[in-house]
């Protein structure tokens, strides 16, 4: 008996696909024979960050994407399925510093390995569109796009308190400093005052939030983005300090509680703190708070600290003078850096009031629950009736909300206002391995953009790219010193580089027109492919990458460069692959490499197992025993194909209807077509699709000997095996091609996706379920066309039902046509 040898089969098919450039698609589809334009489909997996070699997460992502790409192609769509590399970034540079090897070298080596492995996995990629973000042909356009945003004022420079990682010696985006530590290296971040480049993403906060409703994305990802943008509706209210003659606006979501404001708090970073009081105590408090980034502040929640400034401000609703404090629970980044404190209706203000023995005045009374008159437990943040609020007493607080804001607006002491949690995107990095910012600093002209025809500003080769607190590029004197494009005087280049998230915010656009040397893309080409029909990647990008790419797309739409507002119509987030119940990591020593499995079992087995392990949006634990099971299945399919192959390839007819009576196997084949099609079309149910194909192959073995006894049976058996090959092709493209060719002599990817014959999906009889009081008691054969009365009669004839009756009486009969009969017996 011959053996299934993926090591021989897989490279053979890969060569065919490479030689014939099978998966390339053109941007200008030829209308074949005047037929209507075929539907297009853009299937995209998030581009990999090339570091070392691909891991299991990559394999999972591309196994999912490739299955969908193949399925859509064979259903007649023109599918764009490209690949590229997110090549700039900190890890490559840190690795380079450790090993002394230039980041370009290690990155290029890694890209070569990724490319080699993707080919060895048999992924159907259009390699003619391959790109890498560190190539000048790519980042030339990253710089070009930066300049368009700069012209619009969407890229700007400002002095800001920024998060700084002392280990990586660079500033970080808000989003890259989670829980007060650097996302990359885990070092606690510190606060620094520096001039930095920002993108004005906050201008797009409303649209980024509102347009989420139009997206077919997982609900939890949309929720995360909504929370991150954090839109709150409320009012800005002005409190005046008469002694200094200064107005202090605050943002509040609860203007209805204004009468309950009994003190006022400034953030330590608020510029007026020392103006109000510059005693040594206040100075030291402010300095201590400034050294700590906001994330680490008050880590023991509830322990409120602060200092009274010995000043008062006037509450605009009742003229009350209330004391002013400085306290670190108020953040400078949010709102105005100052708050009105309402201890009766805000938990944090309540804690502060208790610690400093400040008055607590209830102004919203909780409705009395039926059954008791419990006093309102403070702090209370719900709705209720206004009390202690002058002429608003007795009103519902929601009504008073509007009335108070309108009144303040008339008095010019306030207005309706909306606040966001989202901050502008800090994009500059004091690092070497990134896209240079195409700006020149001129003493006379200020910030001068590098003219488009001088792009790209190439990243120079330097010897020492280790971070030193300023960009390593600053040491490349020849490169830094230049002339001003505006006045021709001496000038210096910007030495910061861009955050890599800028590179990946538009790569999906470049794929559409990847070889365009005149522009980042042609707009009509883009509109033919975009938006991405199906985007696939990990949840770890739910906020950062996906938010930035959406911002870029909207900004480019406003510039008229693209004709759509959202880049990714449909998103799928894959779950993580674990090993022995834990995330794979070098320190745990539980890392397994796709390469080992591909070499040992073949790419088809590894890919199929990845999809068979469970629902792809959930995490799953890798098991070597499970891989063996899938390998056995593929080997069985190959072996039966090998055994029954027509010696003269192509001579076999595989007419699905077959000749003579349809065998149970023929029916099973059509059932499998129907099942796999639905699982792939309507949901990402690869595991159950594969289970259906396994059932088909198992049945092929079961009926093989019977069917081989007659020529008609042999044809039906070949059809079933060819169908298994055809259906398995999106998951195991090499084996699918091999088996299909053994059966038919043709290439499976050139064949349309099979269609189930409805006549073979139904049969003349079915198994009627017979229940007594909802419990299964018997199954009887019933004609498919049986009427309800007939079903009931058949069920009554069951001996087991009679035994169950046992003197009881049937009080009710429920008949579900084509399914079951249930007798209610008492």
Partner RNA sequence: GCGGAUGUGGCGGAAUUGGUAGACGCGCGGGCUUCAGGUGCCCGUGUCCUUCGGGACGUGGAGGUUCGAGUCCUCUCAUCCGCACCA
Q: Which of residues 745-774 bind RNA (CB under 7 A)?
A: 767, 769, 771, 773-774
- The span from the CA of 366 to the CA of 397, in Å, is 10
By CB under 7 A, the residues from 713 to 752 that bind RNA are none
Using CB under 7 A as the binding rule, whether residue 618 contacts RNA is answered as yes
Segment near RNA (CB under 7 A); pick from 15-23, 39-47, 110-118, 331-339: 331-339
Cα–Cα distances in Å, from 204 out to 208, 423, 677?
Answer: 6, 11, 40
Using CB under 7 A as the binding rule, whether residue 109 contacts RNA is answered as no
Using CB under 7 A as the binding rule, whether residue 337 contacts RNA is answered as yes
Identified binder of RNA from the candidate list 53, 137, 646, 695, rule CB under 7 A: 695
By CB under 7 A, the residues from 581 to 610 that bind RNA are 600
Identified binder of RNA from the candidate list 166, 188, 485, 615, rule CB under 7 A: 615
Identified binder of RNA from the candidate list 378, 539, 557, 796, rule CB under 7 A: 539
- Min dist CB 718 to RNA, Å, is 18
Q: What element of type H or E holds 551?
A: helix 544-558
Contact call for residues 144 and 452 (beta carbons, < 8 A): yes
- Min dist CB 817 to RNA, Å, is 10
Closer by beta carbon to RNA, 314 or else 605 = 605
Q: Residues of 709-735 as b/e, b for ≥16 C-beta within 10 angstroms?
A: eeeebbbbbbbbbbbbbbbbbbbbbbb
Shortest CA distance to 235 belongs to which of 223, 252, 260, 218? Answer: 252
Segment near RNA (CB under 7 A); pick from 226-234, 307-315, 363-371, 444-452: 226-234
* DSSP 8-state class, residue 436: B
Q: C-alpha angle 817/818/824, rounded to 5°?
A: 55
Using CB under 7 A as the binding rule, whether residue 650 contacts RNA is answered as no
Q: What element of type H or E holds 742?
A: helix 733-744
Using CB under 7 A as the binding rule, whether residue 356 contacts RNA is answered as no
Identified binder of RNA from the candidate list 184, 207, 297, 570, rule CB under 7 A: 297
The number of beta carbons lying within 10 Å of the beta carbon of residue 580 is: 11
Using CB under 7 A as the binding rule, whether residue 256 contacts RNA is answered as no
- The span from the CA of 506 to the CA of 553, in Å, is 8
- Min dist CB 491 to RNA, Å, is 39
Identified binder of RNA from the candidate list 158, 391, 515, 632, rule CB under 7 A: 632
Ordered strands of the 446-449 beta sheet = 446-449, 439-442, 490-493, 481-483
Binding mask 206-225 for RNA (x = CB under 7 A): -------------xx--xx-
- Min dist CB 22 to RNA, Å, is 28
By CB under 7 A, the residues from 16 to 75 that bind RNA are none
- Min dist CB 611 to RNA, Å, is 11
By CB under 7 A, the residues from 800 to 819 that bind RNA are 800, 803-804, 812, 814, 816, 819
By CB under 7 A, the residues from 298 to 327 that bind RNA are 298, 301, 304
Shortest CA distance to 731 belongs to which of 700, 682, 691? Answer: 691
Closer by beta carbon to RNA, 395 or else 621 = 621
Using CB under 7 A as the binding rule, whether residue 279 contacts RNA is answered as no
Segment near RNA (CB under 7 A); pick from 39-47, 438-446, 679-687, 708-716: 679-687
Using CB under 7 A as the binding rule, whether residue 346 contacts RNA is answered as yes
Contact call for residues 734 and 604 (beta carbons, < 8 A): yes
Ordered strands of the 534-538 beta sheet = 78-80, 40-45, 534-538, 571-574
- Min dist CB 306 to RNA, Å, is 10
Number of residues engaging RNA in binding (CB under 7 A): 98
Using CB under 7 A as the binding rule, whether residue 711 contacts RNA is answered as no
Q: Is the backbone of residue 658 left (phi > 0), alpha (psi -120 to 50) or beta?
A: left
Identified binder of RNA from the candidate list 11, 323, 485, 614, rule CB under 7 A: 614
- The full DSSP string for 319-377 is --EEEEEE-TTS-SSSTTSEEEE-TTT-HHHHHHHHHHT------EEPPPPTT--PPPP
Using CB under 7 A as the binding rule, whether residue 295 contacts RNA is answered as yes
Closer by beta carbon to RNA, 308 or else 769 = 769
* DSSP 8-state class, residue 535: E
* Backbone torsions φ then ψ of 252, nearest 5 degrees: -140, 145
Segment near RNA (CB under 7 A); pick from 31-39, 334-342, 353-361, 396-404: 334-342
* Backbone torsions φ then ψ of 378, nearest 5 degrees: -100, 145
Identified binder of RNA from the candidate list 776, 784, 802, 810, rule CB under 7 A: 776
- Min dist CB 591 to RNA, Å, is 17
Identified binder of RNA from the candidate list 16, 244, 367, 701, rule CB under 7 A: 701
By CB under 7 A, the residues from 139 to 178 that bind RNA are 178
Identified binder of RNA from the candidate list 623, 763, 765, 787, rule CB under 7 A: 623
Using CB under 7 A as the binding rule, whether residue 670 contacts RNA is answered as no
594-597, long-range: CB < 8 A, 24+ apart = 594/54, 594/55, 594/56, 594/58, 594/59, 594/117, 594/121, 595/53, 595/54, 595/117, 597/627
- The span from the CA of 601 to the CA of 280, in Å, is 72
By CB under 7 A, the residues from 430 to 489 that bind RNA are none
Using CB under 7 A as the binding rule, whether residue 93 contacts RNA is answered as no
* DSSP 8-state class, residue 261: -
Segment near RNA (CB under 7 A); pick from 102-110, 295-303, 387-395, 508-516: 295-303
268: CB partners within 8 A, 6+ apart? 285, 286, 289, 290, 326, 327, 328, 330, 332
Using CB under 7 A as the binding rule, whether residue 134 contacts RNA is answered as no
- The full DSSP string for 267-330 is -TT-TTHHHH---HHHHHHHHHHHHS-TTTTT-STT----EEEEEEEE-TTT--EEEEEE-TTS
Using CB under 7 A as the binding rule, whether residue 635 contacts RNA is answered as yes
Closer by beta carbon to RNA, 460 or else 628 = 628
Cα–Cα distances in Å, from 356 out to 122, 306, 377?
Answer: 68, 9, 20
Identified binder of RNA from the candidate list 489, 628, 660, 752, rule CB under 7 A: 628
- The span from the CA of 394 to the CA of 387, in Å, is 6
Using CB under 7 A as the binding rule, whether residue 14 contacts RNA is answered as no
- Min dist CB 683 to RNA, Å, is 7
Closer by beta carbon to RNA, 31 or else 781 = 781
* Backbone torsions φ then ψ of 309, nearest 5 degrees: -95, -5
Using CB under 7 A as the binding rule, whether residue 249 contacts RNA is answered as no
Using CB under 7 A as the binding rule, whether residue 398 contacts RNA is answered as no
Closer by beta carbon to RNA, 227 or else 246 = 227
């Amino acid at each position: 008996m011959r053996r299934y040898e993926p090591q021989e089969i897989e490279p053979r098919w890969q060569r065919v696909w490479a030689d014939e450039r099978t998966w390339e698609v053109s941007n200008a589809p030829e209308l074949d024979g005047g037929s209507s334009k075929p539907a297009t489909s853009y299937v995209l997996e998030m581009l990999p960050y090339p570091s070392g070699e691909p891991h299991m997460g990559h394999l999972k992502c591309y196994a999912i994407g490739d299955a969908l790409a193949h399925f859509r192609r064979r259903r007649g769509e023109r599918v764009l399925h490209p690949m590229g590399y997110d090549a700039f970034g900190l890890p490559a540079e840190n690795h380079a510093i450790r090993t002394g090897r230039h980041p370009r070298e290690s990155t290029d080596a890694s890209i070569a390995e990724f490319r080699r492995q993707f080919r060895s996995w048999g992924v159907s990629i259009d390699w003619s569109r391959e790109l890498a973000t560190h190539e000048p042909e790519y980042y030339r356009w990253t710089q070009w796009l930066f300049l368009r945003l700069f012209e619009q004022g969407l890229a700007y420079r400002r002095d800001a308190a920024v998060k700084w990682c002392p280990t990586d010696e660079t500033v970080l985006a808000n989003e890259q400093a989670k829980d007060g530590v650097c996302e990359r290296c885990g070092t606690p971040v510190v606060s620094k005052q520096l001039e930095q480049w920002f993108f004005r993403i906050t201008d797009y906060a409303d649209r980024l939030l509102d347009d989420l409703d139009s997206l077919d994305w997982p609900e939890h990802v949309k929720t995360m983005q909504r929370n991150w943008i954090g839109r709150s509706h409320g009012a800005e209210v002005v409190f005046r300090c008469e002694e200094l003659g200064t107005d202090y606006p605050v943002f509040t979501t609860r203007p209805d509680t204004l009468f309950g404001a009994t003190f006022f708090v400034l953030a330590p970073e608020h510029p007026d703190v020392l103006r109000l009081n510059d005693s040594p105590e206040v100075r030291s408090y402010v300095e201590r708070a400034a050294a700590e980034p906001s994330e680490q502040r008050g880590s023991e929640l509830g322990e409120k600290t602060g200092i009274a400034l010995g000043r008062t401000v006037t509450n605009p609703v009742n003229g009350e003078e209330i004391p002013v404090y400085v306290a670190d629970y108020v953040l400078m980044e949010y709102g105005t850096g100052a708050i009105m404190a309402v201890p009766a209706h805000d938990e944090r203000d309540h804690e502060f009031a208790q610690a400093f023995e400040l008055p607590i005045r209830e102004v919203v009374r909780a409705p009395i629950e039926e059954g008791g008159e419990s006093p309102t437990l403070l702090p209370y943040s719900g709705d209720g009736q206004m009390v202690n609020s002058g002429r608003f007493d007795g009103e519902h607080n929601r009504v008073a909300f509007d009335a108070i804001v309108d009144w303040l607006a008339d008095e010019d002491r306030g207005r309706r206002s909306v606040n966001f949690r989202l901050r502008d995107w800090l994009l500059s990095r004091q690092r070497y391995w990134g896209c240079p910012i195409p700006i020149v600093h001129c003493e006379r002209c200020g910030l001068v953009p590098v003219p488009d025809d001088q792009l790209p500003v190439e990243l120079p080769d330097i010897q020492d790219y280790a971070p030193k607190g300023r960009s390593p590029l600053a040491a490349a004197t020849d490169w830094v010193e230049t002339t001003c494009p505006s006045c021709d005087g001496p000038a210096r280049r910007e030495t910061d580089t861009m955050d890599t998230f800028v590179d990946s915010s538009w790569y999906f656009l470049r794929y559409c027109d990847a070889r365009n040397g005149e522009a980042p893309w042609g707009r009509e080409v883009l509109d033919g492919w975009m938006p991405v029909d199906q985007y696939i990647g990990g949840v770890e990008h739910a906020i950062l990458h996906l938010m930035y790419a959406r911002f870029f797309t909207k900004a480019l739409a406003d510039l008229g460069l693209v004709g759509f507002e959202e880049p990714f119509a449909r998103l799928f987030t894959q779950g993580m692959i674990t090993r022995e119940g834990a995330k794979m990591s070098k320190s745990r020593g539980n890392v397994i490499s796709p390469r080992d499995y591909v070499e040992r079992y073949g790419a088809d087995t590894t890919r199929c197992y990845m999809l068979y392990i469970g629902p792809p949006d959930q995490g799953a634990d890798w098991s070597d025993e499970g891989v063996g099971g899938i390998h056995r299945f593929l080997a069985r399919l190959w072996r039966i194909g090998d055994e029954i192959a027509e010696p003269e390839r192509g001579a076999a007819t595989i007419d699905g209807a077959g000749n003579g009576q349809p065998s149970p196997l023929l029916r099973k084949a059509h059932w499998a077509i129907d099942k796999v099609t639905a699982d792939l079309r309507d949901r990402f149910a690869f595991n159950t699709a594969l289970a259906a194909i396994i059932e088909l192959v198992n049945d092929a073995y079961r009926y093989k000997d019977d069917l081989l006894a007659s020529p008609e049976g042999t044809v039906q058996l070949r059809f079933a095996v060819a169908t298994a090959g055809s259906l398995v092709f999106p998951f195991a493209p090499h084996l699918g091609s091999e088996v299909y060719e053994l059966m038919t002599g043709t290439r499976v990817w050139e064949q349309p996706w099979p269609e189930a014959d409805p006549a073979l999906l139904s049969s003349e009889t079915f198994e009627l379920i017979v229940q007594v009081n909802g419990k299964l008691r018997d199954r009887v054969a019933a004609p498919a066309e049986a009427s309800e009365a007939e079903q009931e009669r058949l069920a009554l004839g069951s001996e087991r039902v009679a035994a169950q009756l046992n003197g009881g009486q049937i009080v009710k009969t429920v008949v579900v046509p084509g399914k079951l009969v249930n007798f209610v017996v008492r």
